[in-house]
Structure 1
Amino acid sequence: MEQKTTESFIWKPYLITVLFIVLMTIGLRATRDFFDQVNAVLLYLVPVLYSAVRWGRGPAFFTAGIGILAFDFFFVPPVFSFTVSDLRYLISFIVFMSVAGLTAGLASKLRSQIVQARQREASTAALYALSRKITAVSDLEALLAEVVPHISEMLKAQAAVLLPSRVEPMSMEVYPMDAQAWAADEAHVSVAAWVYRHNAIAGRGTKSLREASELYVPLHTDRQVHGVLVISVGDIPLAEMPGLILTAEALSDLVAVAISRVKLASEAKVAQLSAESEKLRTAMLDSLSHELRTPLAAVTGSVTSLLEHESLFTPEDRRELLVTIREGAGRMNRLVGNLLGMVRIESGMLRLNKHWCGVEDIVGVALTQLKDSLQQRVVDVRFDPDLPSVPLDEVLMEQVLINVVSNAVKYSPENSRILIEAGRSGAMLELKVRDEGKGIPAGELQMVFEKFYRGKATSSIPGTGLGLAICKSIVEAHGGRITARSGTGQGTEIVILLPVHMAEGEDGKI
């Protein structure tokens, strides 16, 4: 059935041109009193040009031959005969065929150029569409899952990508998985391995394996060969292969660049994570060696004095030493807690265990833990009377309050006031902690929430620069926001906004 359809399609242009000549001849015969023979023979050039533009050179020459025979039979004396009474008509026939051949050749060439231009336009559009599709893909398997079907659709042929195996160095893996039915054949893999090693194209239409049914194109960039693009071209005529090879090479270059970009992005991410891990490790060691030394020295000195000179101390002295020990232990506990908290955040191990909590309880627990660290500062707590319960991880939010209030104590003078306010702001709970210190310069308000950042004016005060960074991560994990406000000489205000309602999909715990 398919062969019969193909044959009818091949003969269709010739049948149409015959019908065209018949209708034109009938029309010219009916109007022969208005057209002389010169005009008639020129009109027979019209179907020749149409055939050349529409179907090419073969139908055009066929139309020219049918046209000259019709002109001879119906218009050249003796009419209704193929004989010619005047030999000068033979010159007219020769000129007609020459003009017809020239115009047919030019029209056919123009048609070919139009077809090639359309093919180039389609190829360029397909390449552009493919480049747009893979621009945002950052995973190798997802990239190939996008690329291979696009190539198959563009070339109207099966396609697959073979990459070096990550498990067995001497073998190759086929992408995508549904292409393994044919591309994973041992013959294909062996040829692809040769193409990969030699960075040379092979297969149908090339110097190597010219008569094969597949085309193997290396995916290479300036840095390296990343893999091989395999295209099952079937029995496409060798005369059509150069154009297909050019398209396949353009596609392979685009795919190779995309694979290289994904690999470089992955390597850059690993390098960044390594650098961040090294920075965190260094900061932790610095903190352990410097920040722990002061409270540890105070604890050690107080314990040593109590053990070696217990009889020399009054009950008030002993109580003061014990308070010093408790303050030092609390400071070390907060420091170690911050360091471990940052490790949890950086490693992605931070998990929330939300419950409906009253912010009054969280503030109360935080202030209780900081009771000995306030150092004669006055804490003023102001809550709206109708504060709602909020879905929180109370342990993590206590750590946030402890870090924020500790900073307020650290960066404000003794006997100053620390104000803690809580109220509702729309769908958010607003919690403010304000001190009466020197404040933070406007250019540093956002930077104080970055890891290891220490302000220039406070660099002499002990600290790791992790407290507010941990607060930011915990608050944002709750779906909230934390900001800093400040004015020179007016203190610093930390504002925490937390959602009042459970997020969609949450049910008491996360």
Structure 2
Amino acid sequence: MKDFLRQLKRVKLSPSEILYDLFKTILVFLIATSFALCVVEMNVISDNIFGVYMLAVAVTSVITSGFIWGILSSVGGVVAVNFFFTYPYFAINFSMAGYPVTFALLLLMSVLTSALTTRVKKAAILSANRERRAENLTEMSNALLSANTLNKIMKITLDYFFESNQCSVVAYLGNPSNPQIKLTKTMQAQDELIFESPLEVQIAIDSFAKNEITGIVLEPKVQNCKGTYIPISTETKVYGVIGLLFEKPDDVLFDTYKFSNIMVSQTILALERQAIEEKAQLILLEKEKEKMRSNLLRAVSHDLRTPLTCILGASTTLQENKDKLEEAIFDQLLSDIHHDAQWLIHMVENLLSITKISSEHAKVKKQDEIVEEIVAESVSRIHKRFPNSTIHVSVPDELLIVPMDATLIEQVLINLLENAIRHSGTSLPIRLKVSRDENEAIFTVTDYGKGIDPARLSTIFEGKSGSISADSNRGLGIGLSICKTIILAHNGRIAAKNHSCGGASFTFVLPMKGDLCYDYESKNTNC
């Protein structure tokens, strides 16, 4: 009750509000008096006329803004009963025997009725506010569950603080002196200037440093300070600060700050959940990187040892028997050395490509590229390595422009074309087709050979060579693993399948629109 009365004393009304409440009080009083005179004249009520004024007191307390108008209405009711309905009529006389006690009791009853009505009214208002806030809290919790970035979490927090408290709000993530994120939503344009003032920023910094509410709470503690700053914190860590700027801070009940703390706790849960998810993502990324390292080591031992052994054997034979070898054998050994050296260069290019996109802090930088040029360059490089191969290329008539790292996508096409030439087991032409499906560019490499073992389709991009001999299938495992890594880094997708006509198809899809940068470490765009 003391807190309630203290809050009533703090209410400051504008002159227009005071005059409007006074008008309503007088109007209710006049209506009650007119009604009482009528019912007395009709002999409907005679002894309990004060009940009419008690009803008027209750009505006044409900329709006006505070306790004082009910008291005035109570005093007016006692005077009106004495003046209009107590002998001597139309005269004020409290000196008759028993009248002072009677009127004092009636006044006390009126005051208690006014106080009780006002309190019920305030309780009803508080209950409605709490119900609305509870609904907002539930909506906020649901919204935070779907937030997957720090910026979204702070934006949701800002919006619901603004909606629940109907005040200007500033949200800092990190120290307000140099915040990681700062968001503002104001009721009036000048409120943003207030938040930017050195005094308000310093109060926000103090809240962050001391881990306590600062500024205007229930009593002004800082001269000229206009905002209240609530830390977003646990006992051991401070995440940031929420600033509230009320139009009438003196009218704000302590209940508002209690509810704000509950909302802050929801934000803290969302921030902690985001931190856990990011940590889990890092663990998963480390696991993937470790898997990639294992694949690379396996590929190095599998794919580099054979050509190096061949080069060493052929070069040793040439050194030791160059005068004894026939010209055809001599040329064949030189050709083998050249072929294996080319293969080693190709393998090193693959290793450099995968290192480029998987090394720490590396980013895939995308630029708008013409697809036809990328395809032409890839086919040209394949023809240099395999001059006897036949590749049928099909591209759409329209000009396709796709954001990509041109070098990496060329590497993917070269790997897929080379695999088709080497491992299809046929001399039939290879087909490279490019098409468009809405906002996606689709690349398909098809051969008409023996196809892929169905048992390997599910793991063909995992960097495993299976039980196939190293010499005949050199590079198949690591090449496809690199292709998958590159395509995923471009926010695309890749798949392999056997088709009904015989042979295999490898298809990868790239988005034609999107961000021009992809951070492989965090798997985020907008670099």
Farther off after superposition, 400-409 or 313-322 = 400-409
Contact kept? 1:162, 1:172, Cα under 8 Å: no
The one-letter code of the counterpart of 1:10 is I
Match of 1:439? Answer: 452
Contact 2:33 2:80 survives alignment (8 Å) = yes
- 1:348 corresponds to which of 358, 363, 369: 363
Counterpart of 2:460 in 1: which secondary structure?
helix
Deviation sequence 1:301-348 (CA, Å, 0-9, x none): 111111111123222212222232123122222222222222334433
Q: Which amino acid aligns with 1:349?
A: V
Q: Distance in 2 between matches of 1:224 and 1:491?
A: 60
State the distance in 2 between where 1:235 and 1:387 align.
66
Partner of 1:402 in structure 2?
A: 414
Question: What stretches of structure 1 of length at least 5 have no aligned partner?
Answer: 166-170, 373-378
1:67 aligns with 2:77: yes
Higher relative contact order (CA 8 A, sep 6+): 2
- Counterpart CA distance in 2 for 1:429 and 1:157 is 49
1:121 equivalent in alignment to 2:137: no
Instruction: Tell me the residue number matched to 1:48.
Output: 57
- CA offset digits 1:30-72 (Å, max 9, x no partner): 4522522146433333222212223344322322331232233
Match for residue 90 of structure 2 among 80, 93, 101: 80
Aligned residues between the structures: 480
SS of 2:342's equivalent? helix
Matches within 5 A, 1:87-486: 96-97=106-107, 99-125=109-135, 127=137, 147=157, 151=161, 154=165, 156=167, 161=172, 163=174, 176=182, 179=195, 181-183=197-199, 189=205, 192-193=208-209, 195-196=210-211, 217-221=230-234, 224-227=237-240, 242-268=254-280, 271-346=283-358, 347-349=362-364, 351=366, 353-354=369-370, 356-357=372-373, 363=379, 365-370=381-386, 388=397, 391=400, 399-409=411-421, 411-413=423-425, 416-421=426-431, 431-437=444-450, 439-441=452-454, 445=457, 448-449=460-461, 452-454=462-464, 463=475, 465-471=477-483, 482-486=494-498
Paired-residue identity, %: 23
Please state how far the C-alpha of 1:114 moved relative to its aligned partner.
1.1
- What is the rounded CA distance, in whole Å, between the counterparts of 2:237 and 2:374 in structure 1? 60
Contact 2:154 2:173 survives alignment (8 Å): no
Q: Please give the per-residue CA displacement for 1:71-129, whole angstroms capped at 9, x wherever unaligned.
A: 33223333212348996877875675465445434322221211221332344455456
Per the TM alignment, residue 440 of structure 1 is displaced from its structure 2 partner at its CA by 4.3
Which residue of the partner structure matches residue 375 of structure 1?
Answer: none
Q: TM-score with structure 1 length normalisation?
A: 0.72
Unaligned runs of 5+ in 2: 1-10, 184-191, 517-527
Larger mean Cα displacement after TM superposition, 239-248 or 310-319: 239-248
Match of 2:24 among 9, 16, 22: 16
Counterpart in 1 of 2:4?
A: none
Q: Tell me by how many angstroms 1:299 deviates.
A: 1.0
CA distance in structure 2 between the aligned counterparts of 1:387 and 1:147, rounded to whole angstroms? 48
**Counterparts in 2 of 1:348 and 1:108: CA distance versus 1, 3 Å:** same
- Residues 130-172 of structure 1: CA distance to partner in whole angstroms, max 9, x if unpaired? 556666666657765775686578374675648459xxxxx97
Tell me, what secondary structure is at the counterpart of 1:349?
strand
The 1:183–1:71 alpha-carbon spacing in structure 2 relative to 1, beyond 3 Å, is: same
With over 3 angstroms needed to count, the CA separation of the structure-2 counterparts of 1:312 and 1:221, relative to structure 1, is farther
Letter in 2 for 1:77: Y
8 Å contact from structure 1 (residues 49, 60) kept in 2: yes
Change (3 A) 1:228 1:496: closer
Name the TM-score, length of structure 2 as normaliser.
0.70
